[in-house]
Structure 1
Amino acid sequence: MKFGTKAIHAGQEPDPSTGAIMTPIFQTSTYWQKSPGDNKGFEYSRGTNPTRKALEDCLAALENAKYGLAFSSGMGATDAVMKLLAPGDEVITGNDLYGGSYRIFTKIFSNYGIKFHFIDMTDSENVQKYVNDQTKLIWIETPTNPTMQIVDIEAVSKIAKQNNILLAVDNTFASPYLQNPIDLGADIVMHSVTKYLGGHSDVVMGALMLNDDELYKRLWFIYNACGATPGPMDSFLVLRGLKTLHLRMKAHCENGRQIAEFLKTHPKVEKFTGMISITLKGADLQETYRIASSFKSLINHPVSMTHGSIPKSERDKVGVVDNLLRLSVGVEDVEDLLEDLKQALS
């Protein structure tokens, strides 16, 4: 089954009670049982819900995985993976990392005796230098947020497998339309579903996709026991959003290409990366705020927003500087996006 067909149909069947083509919103907390244990797999909606199960099966199919688990946020999904670890374990991860991931690693899980190594992962040989007997997880974000560094998933996967280390990949920025980490050797794929997968800025959600049966059992236990699971309405909205994922990603890519070509020669842009992030030539923090406030389309100032929890000294090392702005290139007519850029940078 090709990607677009999976996005529309995977995990979903007509409702047997009504024939409804769209998966119903099963807005229920509990389920009737003919007799104790006769529950058709559904007992309590914190752990299992038919709408969410359809979504999880669709998400798994998009990442060429056997299992999917949906969470109430991307951080909820990340939290579940970290709970596979124990005091004394070590994690190798990138030095250019989403601020929320950095915050949960350093402010939450480091307090429980887990050690994190934040390193340059663009050279896989550098990863090997930090592997030791206590290394239990390698956490990759690629492309990174917001500077769009690329990590060789397949090369790092070989290191992980040689040393019996779990490899998890945050695939949010590429989406399964452009990259499938499990095919490249990852054990777990994480998504902030809030972004490309949901696609309509109306849902906050996260997800994990994986193949291993025992690992799935461990993560499902955490998922059910800790309860960071989404409700049926959010699950329905993402199922709806996924039906246009392949169409939206084509438009994002084409619009992004044209905007990159425009920015390449703009006198006020010092450099840019592919999400797209730009650094403003000669702009101080106040001027950066002014330009950011001039945009009509969606823009992010990482230093004061997504990466505000990362110390300035660490941000500066990887280029997340005060005059960096991240553009979220949408699927509007590209001429309108270009006009917005021109007026904001004028």
Structure 2
Amino acid sequence: MEDKKGFTTTILHSDRLLKPEFGALHQPVHTSVTWGFDDVQGLVNVFQNKAKGYAYSRQGNPTTTALEHKITQMEQGKSTVTFSTGMAAITATIQSLIKAGDHIIASSYLFGNSRSIMQTFMDLGLSFSFVDATSADNIKAAFQENTRMVFVETIANPATQIADLTAIGDFCAEKGLLYVVDNTMTSPYLFRPATVKASLVINSLTKYIGGHGDALGGSVTDTGNFDWTTFPNIAAILREQIKPEMLGITQIRKRGLRDGGGTLSPEAAHTISLGSETLALRLEKACYNANKLANYLENHDMVSKVYYPGLKSHPQHQLAADLFKLNGGLMSFSLKDGIDCFAFLNRLKLVVKSSNLGDTRTLAIPVAHTIFFELGAVRRAEMGIPDSMVRLSVGIEDTEDLIADFSQALEASK
């Protein structure tokens, strides 16, 4: 019987148990672009998927493979492919698996760049329906005979809507649909999409998994829940060469990574791998801080609304409690009318004005003027994003210092 270890223990010892040379505790950084073979048949076997190995590092190398192994363990999946960014992972997934004439159902609350790349695919002829994913009934209503994929996020950025993940998973399983869940805002420590029948899990490794704002990366993990033999868009040559359970992830690696070229550098992979070791520790503190800060802001007379799943006032508060280990470090709030959003942000001394998420430091950004500016006022209104909304990525600072900073900035804004 397998001796199963806890989340952090597994991550900490993942590289070491793969036995890197000289007893190294971490997989070393392999910077080689190409790989030599004593026998040309070995090179041919790698190209023809008959043997494991490396031929050209655009498709990966030992350093990215070690990180992929670690992400797979975190998500308790079958296999993972890493990319240069989370957006590269999303783009490659759709590019690799969807064909002209196919239809995708996606959450209407998707992050702006995710929505933007889907608009690009729409311009190229793919069909999308964007629906309120907080209810699976909306997914069901959008279903068409040519629907191939459902794409949702766990917690939406920035207004924190939560998809009806379990019911959507049941519907996708019933209809044989690819169920893609972006797990970035929760990370595999707070939630594993495999438990709600997700087929593929996407993570922006730049965010909580890397955790320190020092490396870009993304990943796609196959959970093992989907029967790829039933999926019509798998290339015939792969069906001849690859085990059935590896068909989808291999096609993503071949058509998405190899052909798309969004390769994760070995240096970034190593940095992300090191950062991931403290994922659980960081998220425990970030979630604690976010909960305290959300309650403070909700009770402040200069704040009109707080968007955080940990609050009982959140529309999906109970759903979040049922699904997630903790409520995450993402939150937003709206200032009351008449308060200058920019002036307030500029009064923050500890909090960094920045666009990233999942950093150890608390970051703040005015949503309507930055990350959702290109959507326009009408679309922002449809998504419930007022001009006064401030998005926070809550970090691991001492809680009292964090609340004190918001307190002084709010008081000075009166």
State the distance in 2 between where 1:16 and 1:60 align: 18
Q: Which residue of 2 aligns with 1:104?
A: 117
Deviation of the 1:293 alpha carbon: 2.4
Deviation of the 1:6 alpha carbon: 2.0
Alignment pair present for 1:192 and 2:257: no
Q: 1:314 aligns with which of 370, 374, 379?
A: 379
Which SS does the other structure have where 1:204 is aligned? Answer: coil
State the distance in 2 between where 1:28 and 1:283 align: 57
Which SS does the other structure have where 1:176 is aligned? Answer: helix
Scaled by the length of structure 1, the TM-score of the pair is 0.95
Residue type at the aligned position of 2:253? W
Q: Which moved more, 1:181-190 or 1:206-215?
A: 206-215
Residue type at the aligned position of 1:145? N
Post-superposition CA distance 1:108-127 (Å, at most 9, x none): 10111112111111111111
Quickly say closer, same or farther: Cα 1:227–1:278, change in 2 above 3 A: same
Q: Which moved more, 1:84-93 or 1:167-176?
A: 84-93
Residue type at the aligned position of 2:368? V
Deviation of the 1:343 alpha carbon: 1.9
Deviation of the 1:9 alpha carbon: 2.2
Indicate conservation of the 8 Å contact 1:92/1:119, yes or no. yes
Deviation of the 1:44 alpha carbon: 1.1
Q: Which residue of 2 aligns with 1:264?
A: 298
Alignment pair present for 1:129 and 2:141: yes
Residue type at the aligned position of 2:38? K
Q: Which moved more, 1:44-53 or 1:308-317?
A: 308-317
Q: How does 1:1-346 map to 2 (within 5 A)?
A: 1-10=5-14, 12-13=16-17, 16-38=20-42, 41-83=53-95, 84-106=97-119, 108-210=120-222, 211=224, 212-222=245-255, 223-274=257-308, 275-283=330-338, 287-295=340-348, 296-297=350-351, 298-346=363-411
Indicate conservation of the 8 Å contact 2:60/2:263, yes or no. no
State the distance in 1 between where 2:87 and 2:297 align: 32
Indicate conservation of the 8 Å contact 1:291/1:344, yes or no. yes
Which SS does the other structure have where 1:177 is aligned? Answer: helix
Deviation of the 1:345 alpha carbon: 1.6
Deviation of the 1:155 alpha carbon: 0.7
State the distance in 2 between where 1:303 and 1:77 align: 26
Which SS does the other structure have where 1:46 is aligned? Answer: helix
Deviation of the 1:101 alpha carbon: 0.4
Scaled by the length of structure 2, the TM-score of the pair is 0.80
Indicate conservation of the 8 Å contact 1:160/1:166, yes or no. yes
Deviation of the 1:12 alpha carbon: 4.5
Aligned length: 343
State the distance in 2 between where 1:283 and 1:10 align: 53
State the distance in 2 between where 1:241 and 1:260 align: 26
State the distance in 1 between where 2:78 and 2:176 align: 21
Quickly say closer, same or farther: Cα 1:15–1:307, change in 2 above 3 A: same
Deviation of the 1:179 alpha carbon: 0.6
Percent identity for Structure 1 against Structure 2? 31
Quickly say closer, same or farther: Cα 1:282–1:86, change in 2 above 3 A: same
Quickly say closer, same or farther: Cα 1:94–1:153, change in 2 above 3 A: same
State the distance in 2 between where 1:226 and 1:12 align: 31
State the distance in 2 between where 1:232 and 1:15 align: 18
Deviation of the 1:225 alpha carbon: 1.9
Which SS does the other structure have where 2:23 is aligned? Answer: coil
Indicate conservation of the 8 Å contact 1:303/1:321, yes or no. yes
State the distance in 2 between where 1:334 and 1:121 align: 33
Which has the bigger relative contact order, CA under 8 A and spacing at least 6?
1
Indicate conservation of the 8 Å contact 2:90/2:202, yes or no. yes
* Structure 2: tracts of 5 or more residues without a match: 44-51, 225-244, 309-329, 352-362
State the distance in 1 between where 2:396 and 2:386 align: 27
Deviation of the 1:17 alpha carbon: 3.1
Deviation of the 1:163 alpha carbon: 1.6
Deviation of the 1:64 alpha carbon: 0.8
Deviation of the 1:309 alpha carbon: 2.5
Post-superposition CA distance 1:287-339 (Å, at most 9, x none): 11221222231202222222222232121122112110011110111111111
State the distance in 2 between where 1:54 and 1:241 align: 14
Indicate conservation of the 8 Å contact 1:283/1:323, yes or no. no
State the distance in 1 between where 2:218 and 2:65 align: 14
Post-superposition CA distance 1:134-155 (Å, at most 9, x none): 2111101121001111112121
State the distance in 2 between where 1:317 and 1:268 align: 24
Residue type at the aligned position of 1:281? K
Deviation of the 1:283 alpha carbon: 4.0
RMSD of aligned residue pairs (Cα, Å): 1.5
Indicate conservation of the 8 Å contact 1:95/1:118, yes or no. yes
Which runs of 4 or more aligned residues in structure 1 lie more than 4 Å from their structure 2 counterparts after TM superposition? none
Residue type at the aligned position of 1:79? T
